[in-house]
Amino acid sequence: MNAPVEGLRNRLWEDLKVGDEAAIEKTVTPRDLYLFAHASGNLNPMHMPQLDIDHDGISDAVAPSMWIGSLISCVLGNVLPGPGTLYRKQSFDFVDRAHIGDVISISVRLIEKLNAPDVIFETVVTKVGGPVIASGHATVSAPLDHVSLAAHELPALLLEEHDHFSKLIMAAKNLEPMPTAVVCPDDSNSLKGTLLAMREGLIIPILIGSKVKIEEAAKEAQEDLSLIQIIDLPDHIAAAAKAVELVHSNQVRAIMKGNLHSDELLAQVVKREGGLRTSRRISHVFAMNVPTLDHPLFISDAAINIAPDLMTKVDITQNAIDLAKACGIEHPLVAIMSAVETINPNIPSSMEAAIIAKMADRGQITGGIVDGPLAMDNAIDMGAAKTKKLESPVAGRAQVLIVPNLESGNMLAKQLTFISHAQPAGLVLGAKVPVMLTSRADNEAARLASCALAQLYDYFRRNKKSVF
């Protein structure tokens, strides 16, 4: 309930009457459960929004009972009797459960006045249009003096305000599952992510690697592989080469990295003879679900091209624009990044940024609105852009960030992930098929989002339009 509280005015003990009542309604959200977990330290997995016992894509999390109870204090402290009220005693009888998405009603009714300032309320929490969740009695000390509070707002908390990946995953699930070669999914994490994407209807996996190790991983993860094709190739390089071969024979339309080094997979993808090269340079794009942004943020290149030259950056930019468009951004706003927002001959990235922006103006890069050089602050923050008096359609609004080199992009993506709590997903573009270059440390959600990116990009590339 981190919303503005309109002007509050209390009711004094002497003005209260038996039968007085008040109620509010509240929708249970994932944010509520995360807030309670942080505040209480209760990390019971039954109360975590990601709980999905039956794997149907719908959270089975149960709202904590004491969080339900805490909502009663909101009515008592804000409405009746209002500001100045203090708890003395509360009883609860929990007879049902609330889940994410439920709308619940929290009501109090005065049933007895004790010696001043104490009163007893009957307290009831119900699902709107449904059963009682909790009932009980609250003994409180009502205020003896009038207190009026102006409208106010609690300080903001950084939680996941925006969930862009869910939108992308839902869009991808409306497409036909994509045949995908999964290379060396011989650990529990990569295998579970693969099978989750299969169950969600995103991919039809062909597993390539050591059959013994893959089956051991399946046993550890308690997964059944009886209906899934496995190509037994214990050698990592041979497995990666087989994935490329399946692309050439049109048996798969994407490749997913499992439990092997990126270099082992990419070496087969970029081979001049028999690889998956196209006329465009291969690059990696991070799609970041940043809690404080109302759009996904695309960062490139932070994984493949270490120190790209000018023409490589042109391809990096075009690849990132294409992915952003595939994800529903009609005219991506692209910032070519540097340490400064003005051209400085001593900073090569600022010179290259200006050239790339002009190349976009001349149609050598298409599909997006490109500007540079821009520094991180004035690329993302409108206030910073205005302070520096930047007249640009991109400044303060950037949806795609093209970084100067791998080190800066890698540090930016990891800072957003580990400090700003963004969710990352990634895709390698520029090859004949999209390559999901997931990290071995990625969780199932990241792998699922990367599969959605591959699905959407594949559709965009084949149909010259997005699904949105």
Query: In this structure, are residues 328 and 452 in contact, taking their beta carbons and an 8 Å threshold?
Result: no
Q: What residues form DSSP beta bridges with 284?
A: 428
Identity of the amino acid at 351: M
Looking at residue 341, its pLDDT comes to 95
Looking at residue 203, its pLDDT comes to 96
Looking at residue 440, its pLDDT comes to 63
Expressed as residue numbers, the domain containing 93 is 8-149
Task: Say if 240 falls within a structural domain.
Answer: no
Task: Say if 143 falls within a structural domain.
Answer: yes
Identity of the amino acid at 467: V
Task: Say if 252 falls within a structural domain.
Answer: no
Place of tokens 């904590």: 64
DSSP 275-339: S---SSPPEEEEEEE-TT-SS-EEEE-SSS-SS--HHHHHHHHHHHHHHHHHTT-SS-EEEEE-S
Task: Say if 51 falls within a structural domain.
Answer: yes
**Dist. CA 358–CA 352, nearest whole Å:** 10
Task: Say if 65 falls within a structural domain.
Answer: yes
Q: Is the pTM of this model over 0.75?
A: no
Query: In this structure, are residues 152 and 8 in contact, taking their beta carbons and an 8 Å threshold?
Result: no
Q: Which of 260, 263, 265 lies closest to 247 in space, CA to CA?
A: 265
Looking at residue 1, its pLDDT comes to 42
Query: In this structure, are residues 454 and 448 in contact, taking their beta carbons and an 8 Å threshold?
Result: no
Render pLDDT for 379-436 as a digit per residue (tens, 0 to 9).
999 989 999 999 899 999 999 999 999 999 999 999 998 888 888 999 999 999 999 9
Q: Which of 454, 151, 185, 182 lies closest to 327 in space, CA to CA?
A: 454
3-class DSSP assignment, residue 39: helix
CATH of the domain at 362: 3.40.718.10
Of the three residues 149, 168, 189, the one that is the final residue of a domain is 149
Looking at residue 374, its pLDDT comes to 97
**Dist. CA 206–CA 249, nearest whole Å:** 14
Task: Say if 384 falls within a structural domain.
Answer: yes
Task: Say if 220 falls within a structural domain.
Answer: no
CATH of the domain at 41: 3.10.129.10
Of the three residues 125, 149, 173, the one that is the final residue of a domain is 149
Task: Say if 107 falls within a structural domain.
Answer: yes
Total tally of structural domains belonging to the chain: 2
Of the three residues 149, 169, 192, the one that is the final residue of a domain is 149
Residues of the chain with pLDDT under 50: 1-5, 160
Render pLDDT for 170-210 as a digit per residue (tens, 0 to 9).
999 999 999 999 999 999 888 988 999 999 999 999 999 99
Query: In this structure, are residues 304 and 269 in contact, taking their beta carbons and an 8 Å threshold?
Result: no
Residue 66: what are its φ and ψ, rounded to 5°?
-75, -25
